[in-house]
Amino acid sequence: MLERINVIIQRIAQLGLFISFALLIGSVMVQVVGRISGSSPVWTEELTRYALLFTIAFGSGLAFKTGDLVNVDIVMLAVPSPIAKLMRIFAAAATAAVSIYLLPHAWKYVAIGKMQTSPALGVRMDYIHLTIWLTLLGLGIFAILRVLEIVILKSSGKPTNQDIED
């Protein structure tokens, strides 16, 4: 059951990441072609910035899962495996706790955007500010999943991308 939930959440994040990154690439391509032709649309720079924010929002949880976020492994390599596992549990639990704690505060930030619109696209800024909340949500969910994988499934807790031997 836990593996299925993990896969579903991962697929949703991957889809969001794919769509936002495709939008970013498309917007940059329109901007480049526009600059070459001498008529670059104003909205491309703004759309690129917003697509980048959504790329970060959807990708941060995935980066946590795969171990692609900044990480200090020197300590983990210097201690015995059981202690390293406890440290991974603590780090994931702390990440989850901070993310969950910040969610309601980030939602207040999202709500502020309801009164604003972007200058070029005219998009309500609460949709853009939602990226902060999504980033925290993704980090929190993937951190909770890592803790559950370690505790329930008895995994090592290592991110899925790491080749470090114990």
For tokens 């949880």, the residue is 61
Instruction: Give the predicted TM-score (pTM) of the model.
Output: 0.88
Q: Per the structure block, which two tokens stand in for 70?
A: 């900044």
100-131 pLDDT per residue, tens = 999 999 999 999 999 999 999 999 999 999 99
Instruction: Please answer whether residues 21 and 55 qualify as being in contact, where contact means their C-beta atoms are separated by less than 8 angstroms.
Output: yes
Give yes or no for residue 163 having a pLDDT over 50.
no
Q: Does pLDDT of 166 surpass 60? A: no
| For residues 29-53, average pLDDT | 94
Q: Which of 68-77, 119-128, 155-164 has the lowest mean pLDDT?
A: 155-164
pLDDT for position 74: 77
Residue closest to 112 by CA, chosen among 126, 102, 93: 126
Of residues 6 and 70, the one with the higher pLDDT is 6
Contact predicate 58/134, CB 8 Å: yes
What pLDDT sits at residue 72?
65
* pLDDT tens digits along 48-63: 999 999 999 999 999 9
Quick check: 146 pLDDT over 50? yes
Each domain of the chain, given as residue ranges in start order, spans 2-151
pLDDT band at 161 (very low <50, low <70, confident <90, very high): low
Instruction: Report the distance separating Cα 48 and Cα 42, nearest Å.
Output: 11
Look at residue 2 in the predicted model and tell me its pLDDT. Answer: 85
What number is the average pLDDT over the span 4-15? 94
The upper half-sphere exposure of residue 23, i.e. CA atoms within 13 Å in the direction of its Cβ, equals 18
Does residue 113 contact residue 129 with C-beta atoms inside 8 Å? Answer: yes
**pLDDT value for 162:** 52
